[in-house]
A and B are shown apart, each in its own frame.
Chain A
């Protein structure tokens, strides 16, 4: 039995069956990007008979990697022997791939075996240490900002100019080199090193480079638009003269400039490989015509883009709804009411009419910044509607999960002073509490040799009184690490956590309304989407500067948000909003006016129409 390609449209089929040599697939939102990638891999294995060992598929998240493998199991012909070899296939994020390179060759880049990956909170502690010892003039409160700047600085390789760094380079260089020295002393690396060090490895050791080049004959890259410069270079190094690179992405959906990825690099691949075959996937299977028309007319205002069109397969649908609220609370109330209508009423007493065919899990509320989520989560809480907030907990120590990560690291290594210093300010101020805490850590360590990781974490969250909601999320994360003893699984689990990206904790099976940033919604789709907080200054966000290139990045982000919607899209803004500690009055986002009027319906909240007079029938007279 051979691979069934009948599900694909002609252009998808062309992409899947492309001959060897470089291919660039431009896949707009909802055009079946993941499906096309999965079929390409299946095609290589089952039709061309390529050994899965020779194939490397790079995904953007660990979750996407797992989903890709599951998908392959489904589409590969059941009777073929290919599925048995699937375990030899490498589907991985670049960070996880980089880590595997380093675990094989750590001594080549000056690391000892068992090196660890720092969490952001530990980076902050380390920078604080440097600032207090060497740069006493620097405020310790700026440590987190410094961590971000260090990362920016480290990723400036290959001739990039610094992106508007306002600091004196000399000062920054000193802090950076002190930071790098500390990492080396402690035998730890940060997340950026998972790309940068393998890059050095491949640059400086030709024999290792050739090894990998010979191993991976076929390299496939998903979400190509979001690679930053070092990641691009790493992939370039992996591609040998005989490698076939097949990359798929959409420049209009590049939303990670703050991580150093840029649209201009999207075409670099074709420039550097002139014989590249370029295929545009333009048939959109996700959104209705009005949603797509609205999104396209927004993105067309970007000057820095590759012209790319989209055609809807679903011409019928309601217009894009726009709601102007007086303030953020009115906005939240409107959305809760609307959600109640969408599910056809949540209560018997408050009868309401609406489409009623949606479930809570069909609905997402998207925003530009996490700070915006509060009025919505509060209104949902009040209404009793189930919801899940995705992300927003970084591994930053100020969040509860950052706190738990530090505790787990101490269980692994009680002498981990960075973790202890990250936790210390959160401990009870009573003098003996330090001792109590350390003895608890000691007990967890002993426990870890005979209980499962889930049990260990349960004990910790119970005794350290961690909030229920967070706790549930954690226990879901720990699921794949439940076999065996906690002390054996703990290093793997911590590594896994440190590589998680925002949005990977989204649980599609939860019967709940999902709240997340537009960034986290990348790659997802929902029958109904609310994009909230659409005010000038908030979305487009001007917190980080107002360069034209940034405006275009914000527009792409808005485009990504809009194209998450399948059937219904609501856009809302508030005249007045409490944000960053102040009441702000802001006009509606200019993006709203970029949508053609004929695809919009403005919603105004009227007071309930009075009940029509019911004519009494005269049954009894």
Chain B
């Protein structure tokens, strides 16, 4: 079957994460968004692990489902147009902070298992290394390579994916505390890393500029810290619904069972460009080089973003397209689209009301953004919606790039366009 998967989210037990991130809401929002397989996140946290053990039961091989007694009530709250099955995949993100070759390294990695026994084996090992209880995404003083080895010790069926690999501060290839190659980090275990997460600030074409990543499958996930962000980046599969089929699809992309990713416009990500947030200085890689790497306002070092870092490590020109790669589609969240049309905040009542009305009327969000015929959108009550969605699908949007932790800003219409449209309505 064809389905969408979002492997990387966090529970309410992670720092800076919404209280709403409990199993009920994850289950609910996966349906509203159109995500079939969703990561549990945070399985190393003892409270979350207990909750997973109590509320989930095995479904298809290696995947889990919310037990009927917990899901019945939620199902009633979900518009009929969005109701769909949801499966959980056991996942965690670990923050490894350690020294290697005399440099401090900070790397985030995702780990997956097909069963709770393997999870508790890894948890038992990690308890000895550090503190699993204080954060759903624990900080461990553990070498990434060692972590991979421990995951394998817990179960040879584990799947290990370096997370948001370009993020400057916390990733395997990041400018600030990463490495220059996967090999430098994982050494002889590198062949066991088949897949990396590209993160919000990069898209597949940026990654294609590195021949070193040719054999690596690129996935995208939401890294959601609140339920309404689930699925903002995700992966599309056409295979059997099972842990092992998903792994197989990722490890053998030539089979064509991994169809590709749903992406942010990378400019929208928090670390696309360089800059210094405290001073409000946003710099393109070329500008940074011109400024000698320093903030033009305060003279401190700027945070080097993803675009710059990719250029640094790339061995191919921008625009290079290797053969046989899965496709990708860049999208903007539906509330973002409505917000622009309505000229009202993303979380405002006006926007939220329209959002849920559209879901009830048309179906889940990813369906509306990707598939819904423009003709059906005409009856939505939002006159600009068909054209807005069409522009998003075609990538005809304007973006002010994100930098140093500040999200980029997207505009679908420029003022002229918009004024013209509004006027023509009367």
Contact = CB atoms under 8 A, between A and B. Distances in A.
Contacts of A511: 97-99, 140-143
Given A349-B15, A511-B98, A611-B278, A619 B398 contact: yes
Nearest to A473: B128
Interface stretch (A38-46, A60-68, A232-240, A357-365): A357-365
Nearest to A469: B128
A348 interface: yes
A358 B106 CA distance: 11
A350 interface: yes
A620 B414 contact: yes
Interface stretch (A319-327, A381-389, A592-600): A381-389
Interface stretch (A278-286, A339-347, A406-414, A488-496): A339-347
Contacts of A607: none
A347 B15 CA distance: 9
Interface in B64-120: 95, 97-99, 103-104, 106
Contacts of B405: 351
Interface in A582-621: 611-615, 617, 619-621
Interface in A502-525: 510-512
- Interface of chain A: mostly helix, strand, loop or mixed: loop
B278 A344 contact: no
Contacts of A386: 97, 129-131, 139-141
A353 B404 CA distance: 11
Contact of A472 (B15, B99, B128, B131): B128
A620 B141 contact: no
Contacts of A315: none
Nearest to B399: A619
Interface of A: 343-351, 353, 356-362, 381-386, 468-469, 471-472, 510-512, 611-615, 617, 619-621
Give the interface centre of B130, B300, B398 by most chain A CB atoms within 10 Å: B130
A386 B97 CA distance: 9
Interface in B251-288: 277-280, 282
B336 to A, nearest CB: 15
A344 B414 contact: no
9 contacts: A343-B104, A356-B104, A359-B98, A359-B99, A383-B134, A384-B138, A386-B141, A620-B398, A620-B415
Given A347-B16, A384-B139, A511-B142, A360 B97 contact: yes
A361 B141 contact: yes
A141 to B, nearest CB: 36
A57 B128 CA distance: 37
A346 B95 contact: yes
Give the interface centre of B104, B106, B167 by most chain A CB atoms within 10 Å: B104
A592 to B, nearest CB: 30
A348 B141 contact: no
B157 interface: no
A559 B239 CA distance: 67
Contacts of B104: 343-344, 356-359
A472 B405 CA distance: 38
B190 interface: no
Contacts of A357: 103-104
B169 interface: yes
A620 B177 CA distance: 35
Interface in B140-156: 140-143
A360 B130 CA distance: 12
B234 to A, nearest CB: 20
